[in-house]
Amino acid sequence: METLGYLIDGFGVALAPHNLMFALIGAFLGTLIGALPGLGPANGVAILIPLAFTLGLPPETALIMLTSVYAGAMYGGRISSILLNIPGDEPAMMTCLDGYPMAQKGKAAEALAISAIASFMGSLIATIGLILLAPLLAKFALTFGPAEYFALFVLAFATLGGITGKNPVKTILAAAIGLMIATVGIDSTGTQRYTFGVLELYEGVDFIIAIVGLFAISELLFFIESRAGGGKGPMKVNKLSLSWKEIGSIFPTTLRGGVLGFISGVLPGAGASLGSFISYTLEKKILGSKGRFGEGDPRGVAAPEAGNNGASSGALVPMLTLGVPGSGTTAVLLALLISMNITPGPMMFTQNADIVWGVIAALLVGNFLLLLLNIPLVGIFVKLLSVPPKYLLPIVTMVAFVGIYSISNSAFDLYFMVAFGVAGYILRKLEIPLVPIILGLLLGPEMEKNLGHALTLSNGDWSVLWSSGLSITLWALAIIGLVLPVVVGPILRRRMRAAQDNVE
């Protein structure tokens, strides 16, 4: 019942008027970011981090706002899947399968409303799962020594590519580059490393600059290349007519989807793509001939949306309890924590209990806000979809510049950001994933510290890294995480594509 007490305290934090206001702003901005073309959730949260700083928000408020943005972006992302058959990101692919046919039949409003309800249920179930599981995991993680932590970090990198990842070697390479950037600066012993005497590098590379550069600027360059600046024509949505009976009929589907999504969100490497995929396929199996999947069955919209949102809340479990994010967006949230001087990981549950539980409560509150926001306001978000990227992306880039400039007032940081943007563009062209680079930048110092502690305790004997049962398990999982995608990945990807093709 300890948890319940904390949770009530958490609601005290989350329901404080100014926090509630920022949660509402965050939810609105998040849906906007999700709905706007060319702005992924990780990208959007990254651009908003400097703004959270310039507003001078206290840590819990900043976190509450950005978790609401995170949740909102998941809501917003489905709009283009349903109306345009263009998934904003990989997990949204499955929503296209039945969402787009529904829209074509003139039931776009119903599809959007159903997906909002399913998203809500998925997040709600996963947040309850988070409340139950996170304290247990945090308690367990307290038994980790430095060697186990080192292995855990390796596991995080190994599984980051996810089960649908392509080339694990490129993930490793990207992780190494990120970790190498993290070693720039003055280290704990006072040694200057790779600073080349440049004063601005003494404190290391600011990861917020790196994140905004890699995501936002490279996105601009990609749009210029693909000449997709024109945008889509205006869209109309029919009037909503949804009966309680119809909502009731998708209820069991959302329950199953939410639970499955949560599990795949918590598991390292599974992630939201798998969450929505499994939920959809299972639903199709269970209902079989009773459903009309692929032709616009409401349950075909509800299942992947519940799975997708369940997974994104589930992904917060490893981020909050172990300090190890499982996705790009949670990595960006981790960046916020670190830059607010909060050390993520099990200690956070005891040292910053108010922040952790405030954020968890804010997730619940944010979900209600999103549901209330999304059903009546969906028309506004639909209109946003037709904002042409040729106006939008330059403005977004400018806001990113102003955000970074307002933190540091230094032109050097801005040049650095442009350089990261160009590098990000080239790396994406080479299909080198960017998220491991970010994660390397974030986890580098902790990883080195734990390696140092482990080796100092063992007097320099490297075998200490795999001497306990727990660390061996973690290493084994890491190896499985790297090898499995090579074997299973192509099959899964083919199936997802096959399902997609069937519709078209």
Q: Could you say whether residue 397 binds another protein (CB under 8 A)?
A: yes
Q: How far is the CB of 236 from another protein (least distance, A)?
A: 24
Q: Could you say whether residue 350 binds another protein (CB under 8 A)?
A: no
Q: Could you say whether residue 172 binds another protein (CB under 8 A)?
A: yes
Q: Could you say whether residue 483 binds another protein (CB under 8 A)?
A: no
The candidate with the shortest Cα–Cα distance to 451, out of 190, 177, 157, 146, is 146
Q: Which of 252, 294, 448, 470 binds another protein (CB under 8 A)?
A: 448
Write out the two tokens for 42: 């990780």
Q: How far is the CB of 13 from another protein (least distance, A)?
A: 24
Q: How far is the CB of 6 from another protein (least distance, A)?
A: 33
Q: Could you say whether residue 287 binds another protein (CB under 8 A)?
A: no
CB-wise, 106 or 388, nearer to another protein?
388
Q: Which of 243, 289, 341, 459 binds another protein (CB under 8 A)?
A: 459
What does the per-residue mask of binding to another protein show for 219-238, with x meaning CB under 8 A? -xx-xxx-x-xx--------
Is residue 77 within 8 Å of residue 33, measured between CB atoms?
no
Q: How far is the CB of 290 from another protein (least distance, A)?
A: 43
Q: Could you say whether residue 402 binds another protein (CB under 8 A)?
A: yes
CB-wise, 173 or 503, nearer to another protein?
173
Tell me how far apart the alpha carbons of residues 65 and 154 are, in angstroms, rounded to a whole number: 30
First and final CA of the chain: distance in angstroms?
A: 51
Q: Which of 2, 4, 190, 244 binds another protein (CB under 8 A)?
A: 190
Q: What is the CA angle 330-313-172, rounded to 5?
A: 35
Q: Could you say whether residue 423 binds another protein (CB under 8 A)?
A: no
Q: Which long-range contacts (CB under 8 A, 24 or more apart) does 410-418 make?
A: 410/200, 412/200, 413/200, 413/206, 413/209, 416/200, 416/205, 416/209, 416/213, 417/209, 417/210, 417/212, 417/213, 417/217, 418/213, 418/217
Q: Could you tell me which residues are beta bridge partners of residue 192?
A: 186
Q: Could you say whether residue 418 binds another protein (CB under 8 A)?
A: yes
Q: How far is the CB of 490 from another protein (least distance, A)?
A: 13
Write out the two tokens for 493: 């990807």
Where in 150-169 is the site for another protein (CB under 8 A)? 166-167, 169
- Name every residue whose Cβ is closer than 8 Å to that of residue 364 and which is 6 or more positions away in sequence: 14, 124, 127
Write out the two tokens for 116: 């909002």
Q: What are the Cα distances from residue 252, in Å, to 283, 301, 305, 370, 395? A: 10, 13, 13, 21, 43
Q: Could you say whether residue 398 binds another protein (CB under 8 A)?
A: yes
- Name every residue whose Cβ is closer than 8 Å to that of residue 369 and which is 6 or more positions away in sequence: 23, 24, 27, 68
What does the per-residue mask of binding to another protein show for 34-73, with x meaning CB under 8 A? --------------------xx------------------
Q: Which of 3, 104, 183, 473 binds another protein (CB under 8 A)?
A: 183
Tell me which amino acid residue 193 is: R
- Name every residue whose Cβ is closer than 8 Å to that of residue 487 and which is 6 or more positions away in sequence: none
Q: What is the CA angle 284-311-80, rounded to 5?
A: 70
Binding part of the chain for another protein, among 75-83, 129-137, 366-374, 384-392 by CB under 8 A, reads 384-392
Binding part of the chain for another protein, among 72-80, 215-223, 265-273, 366-374 by CB under 8 A, reads 215-223
Residue 137, class by beta-carbon neighbours within 10 Å (0-12 exposed, 13-18 middle, 19+ buried)? middle
Q: Which of 7, 86, 133, 173 binds another protein (CB under 8 A)?
A: 173
Using CB under 8 A as the criterion, which residues of the chain lie in contact with another protein when the complex forms?
54-55, 166-167, 169-170, 172-173, 176-177, 179-180, 183, 187, 189-191, 193-194, 217, 220-221, 223-225, 227, 229-230, 388-391, 393-395, 397-399, 401-402, 405-406, 411, 414-415, 418, 421-422, 425, 429-432, 447-448, 451-452, 455-456, 458-460
